[in-house]
Amino acid sequence: MAASPMKIRANNKDGVTEVKVLMSHEMETGQRKDSAGAIVPAWFITELSASNNGKVVLSSDFGPSVSKNPYLQFKFKGGAKGDKVTVTWKDNRGESRTDEATVA
């Protein structure tokens, strides 16, 4: 299943860029059981990295206890209006997705 695009907002204010990312992912923990009692296999984002004009500004590891459709907000110094903020995630099935936003 192809994952839906991420929603990314990046706003620069007083030399600091604030990035908000909303991903679309099930984030299944692997602890839940379906109605037949079988364990629903784990399926979650494991790694995420964000960069601004190619320079990495955040790299992070997620566990299954991050909420479904994960939200992430962080800030970095620098960045300017028009810069490209790119976010990439990878999940435990090896699927990945990359989306880009322009700093406003």
96 binds another protein (CB under 8 A): yes
39 binds another protein (CB under 8 A): no
Q: Which of 74, 80, 82, 102 binds another protein (CB under 8 A)?
A: 74
Binding residues for another protein, rule CB under 8 A, total: 38
Q: Which of 6, 76, 85, 101 binds another protein (CB under 8 A)?
A: 76
How far are the Cα atoms of 28, 30, 49, 56, 64 from residue 78, in angstroms, in the given order?
35, 39, 17, 12, 32
Close Cβ partners of 69 (under 8 Å, ≥ 6 residues apart): 22, 23, 24, 25, 27
6-25 mask for another protein (x: CB under 8 A)? ----------x---------
47 binds another protein (CB under 8 A): yes
> For residue 51, with 0-12 CB atoms within 10 Å meaning exposed, 13-18 middle and 19 or more buried, which class applies?
middle
Close Cβ partners of 55 (under 8 Å, ≥ 6 residues apart): none
In the complex, the residues that contact another protein under the rule CB under 8 A are 2, 16, 27, 29, 31-32, 46-47, 49, 51, 55-68, 70-78, 88, 90, 95-96, 98
